[in-house]
Structure 1
């Protein structure tokens, strides 16, 4: 496999400059598949990726309030309060272990290089984000109701 220089050039950070991502916060995270391929239409990869998410949650101790694995991207509402790891480490670890699982069936890059995050600012923002993640498969026309989508769920409840 070969890479051109574009794969290694410095990219502008999507992180807020000067923001403390190690603080205990809740984040809405989006991670996109490289070239927006519909790789998670393959049920083996979708299941393996979710298994990686649960294993990482167990190891790192972050809260997973809602997740949804779409054919070409992933959404999660993550609380870093219980974890000693900042958001970048959590997302980087998830991308790394899920890519290794993906390599059982395919070669190459699974994810785009960066991820997108939104700091959840208040309770209303939290519940609007939950609804957005839950409704994503319906909005995209993949199912009629959120309950029909097999790759979404709530793991931790807000206390």
Structure 2
């Protein structure tokens, strides 16, 4: 036993980077606002965030199955496609395929910049996001329903279709 083995091992927050760069899986993400309060109640900022998410989908050729922008966070379900497989220099990790997390970083940076133009200061988003690769443990349709029904659970609307910031973008059926 080496001296390294006696120290507790920190649990990894993320799966290996390659998992986020494959077209084999659907991804679910939640990104929370950093600001106290609910910055996306401002319809100007909500519109910018949704426009940016849709731009990200087009730019990186995602299948964006659905999204729901809540007053203080955004949920979405997506999958990469073969149309936009890019390679990036990942430093010590070598050359890797660009993935969802790379795209999210650009999305967060751009929308933060847009929020400054509307009078907010500081970073718009928390540093990390909550994300999952969907599989049998996280069934696709259950995650889509959870995403879309978020405003119903929060009692903001009676049915998700009434919420102006929730939408099915790329139908899967």
Say yes or no: TM over 0.5. Answer: yes
Q: Which has the higher mean CA deviation after the structures are superposed, 135-144 or 33-42? A: 33-42
Q: Radius of gyration: which is bigger?
A: 2
In 1, the alpha carbon distance for the partners of 2:35 and 2:138 equals 33
Normalised by the length of structure 2, the TM-score is: 0.78
Superposed CA RMSD: 2.0
Give 3-state SS (helix, strand or coil) of 2:71's partner.
coil
CA contact (8 A) 1:99 1:110 kept: yes
- Check whether the contact 1:26–1:120 (CA below 8 A) recurs between aligned residues: yes
Aligned pairs, number: 148
Alpha-carbon deviation of 1:100?
Answer: 1.4
Q: Which residue of 1 aligns with 2:70?
A: 70
Cα offset for 1:67? Answer: 0.3
Q: Which runs of 5+ in 1 are unaligned?
A: 1-11
Structure 2: runs of 5 or more not aligned:
1-10, 86-97
Query: TM-score, normalised on structure 1?
Result: 0.85
Taking the aligned partners of 1:155 and 1:147, their CA distance within structure 2 comes to 13
Query: Using the alignment, how far apart are the partners of 2:51 and 2:71 within structure 1?
Result: 16
Structure 1 residue 153 displacement after superposition: 0.4
Cα deviations by residue, 1:112-155 (Å, 9 ceiling, x for unpaired):
00111111114981100111011100001111111110001011
